[in-house]
Amino acid sequence: MISVIIPCRNGANYLQEAVAGIQSQNMPIEIIVVDDGSTDETTRIAESAGCRVVRHGTMRGQVAGKNTGIRAANGEYIMFHDHDDVMIANTLPKLYNALVADKNLWLVMAKVQDFFSPELGEAEKRKIRIREEAYHGLFSGAVLIRRALFDINGFFDESLNTGEIISLMTNMDAIGLKYEKVELVACRRRVHAANYGRSHKVKERVDYASVLRSRMRGRAYGIED
């Protein structure tokens, strides 16, 4: 089984479309929505779509939401997915096949493709930079992970609001755990007015700097990429 974990707060606007894309995959899955103290209809929408819901009583952040989802997961494999993105058809079987083809792989990373959310007007679109080409590097919706990785590597650092993927990959490099990038576009990343990365740019820079400092300290102690 693959456990698809959706950490979100006030995700009623796009959650149903995200869940539908996941449910269309031809794989045994469970969808766990971690409701991070929402004040909208997130929980009702998730439950009506057949998802398991785990609620935080108060907002704890999307990194804590990932950890909550891992603890609740029943699957041998984990994928994280944003509530506003859309998984492309037949993604999970391809990622699963790539991961199990090599027993030494701990995760496989596919690409994402940006798209403008339909409600954005032309004036708004002109203010936003969008990547024309699909790209690696985003965690949600494009990475399939063996659940056992978190027993070895530990859970995410909840002092970070973002940058957890860099931290995870750095730790994997340090202890010699193998991962692989695959040439597959797995997920359509919705670009809209309230994207998390755009609304938390300052905190994102602070977190990335913290992770990179840790990485440099690791090199100083003989831990190489």
pLDDT at res. 143? 96
pLDDT at res. 106? 97
Taking the C-alpha atoms of residue 99 and residue 205, their distance in angstroms, rounded to an integer, is 31
Residue 102 tokens, joined: 């090599």
pLDDT at res. 85? 95
pLDDT at res. 197? 53
- Residue 129 burial class via C-beta count within 10 angstroms: exposed 0-12, middle 13-18, buried 19 and up: exposed
CATH superfamily assigned to domain 2-220: Spore Coat Polysaccharide Biosynthesis Protein SpsA; Chain A (3.90.550.10)
Q: Any idea how long the chain is? A: 225
Residue ranges of the chain with pLDDT lower than 70?
Answer: 195-225
Q: Report pLDDT digits (tens) over 42-65.
A: 999 999 999 999 999 999 999 999
pLDDT at res. 148? 97
pLDDT at res. 219? 41
DSSP state letters, 169-224:
HHHHHHHT-EEEEEEEEEEEEEE-TT-HHHHTHHHHHHHHHHHHHHHHHHHHTT--
Q: What strands, in cross-sheet order, belong to the sheet with 178-191?
A: 52-56, 29-36, 2-8, 77-80, 143-146, 105-116, 178-191, 86-87
Listed by start position, the domains of the chain span: 2-220
Strand partners of residue 111: 185
